[in-house]
């Protein structure tokens, strides 16, 4: 969750500047509740009203921005990046399968359980369901299943419901503290925030944003990419 990472950055900067010493930073995503929105009319007495599905795309489309940069939806921007970098459908599906397999192994080995707080969901007739694993991963996914899915966003496209990020709900939170406060509270630090960076790219190629951002943060941290591979 990008906004969750932004919150972590804000907390780290607040601690560094002396505005705090122990903060909780996090983010929430509720894509299943993303609304349909209808923008105001652009001219007096205009009767045509456009409705936008905000799950995958823009919330309020500025006509001038649409003319200048385009307002491609998330999967359309992925198609743009794939076309630019010659990423094939086979590459997409293979990468997605590997992600599913790695997640399944992590769940089976209990690695992710340490980071998940179970949620109790009330149901009908007084039943209560405990949700303690992420809903998106499918351990039984096969390459044949992924290859059989249609690419709905572009003719001869490579992005499908199987190799794209899912529509999910979730939340995450971290305790960010100064070293002194962590020691005072008996907390064992699990990591250290060394540097942060963001970068802007052309909206229709937004999937490339991590590339310049990674270069920038490595430079600030005095590190190199090979150290983290």
**DSSP of 3-45:** HHHHHHHHHHHHHHHTS-SEEEEEEEEEGGGPPEEEPPPSSTT
Q: Measured on CA atoms in the order 166, 171, 52, 81, is the torsion positive or negative? A: negative
Three-state DSSP at 159 gives coil
Determine the pLDDT at residue 85: 97
Please report, rounded to a whole number, the percentage of residues in the chain having pLDDT higher than 70.
98
For 3-23, what is the mean pLDDT? 93
The predicted-structure confidence for 87-135, as pLDDT tens digits, reads as follows: 999 999 999 999 999 999 998 998 888 889 998 989 888 999 998 888 8
Q: Is pLDDT of 14 > 70?
A: yes
196 phi-psi bin (left φ>0, alpha ψ -120 to 50, beta other) = beta
Give me the pLDDT at residue 50, please: 77
Using DSSP, state whether 176 is helix, strand or coil. strand
> Distance from CA of residue 171 to its chain's centroid?
11
pTM reported for the whole predicted model? 0.82
């Amino acid at each position: 969750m990008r906004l969750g990472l932004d919150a972590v950055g804000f907390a780290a900067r607040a601690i560094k500047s002396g505005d705090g010493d122990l903060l909780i930073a996090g983010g929430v995503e509720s894509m299943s509740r993303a609304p349909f929105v209808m923008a105001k009319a652009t001219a007096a007495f205009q009767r045509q009203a456009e409705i936008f599905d905000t799950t995958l795309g823009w919330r309020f489309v500025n006509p001038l921005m649409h003319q200048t940069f385009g307002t491609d939806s998330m999967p359309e921007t992925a198609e743009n990046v794939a076309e630019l970098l010659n990423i094939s459908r086979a590459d997409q599906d293979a990468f997605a399968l590997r992600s599913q397999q790695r997640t399944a192994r992590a769940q089976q080995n209990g690695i992710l359980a340490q980071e998940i707080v179970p949620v109790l969901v009330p149901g009908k007739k007084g039943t209560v369901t405990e949700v303690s694993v992420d809903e998106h991963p499918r351990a039984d996914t096969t390459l044949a299943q992924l290859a059989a899915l249609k690419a709905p966003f572009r003719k001869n496209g490579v992005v499908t419901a199987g190799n794209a990020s899912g529509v999910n709900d979730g939340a995450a939170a971290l305790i960010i503290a100064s070293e002194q406060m962590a020691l005072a509270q008996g907390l064992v630090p699990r990591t250290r925030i060394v540097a942060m960076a963001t970068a802007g790219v052309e909206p229709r190629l937004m999937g490339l944003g991590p590339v310049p951002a990674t270069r920038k943060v490595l430079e600030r941290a005095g590190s190199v990419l090979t150290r983290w591979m």
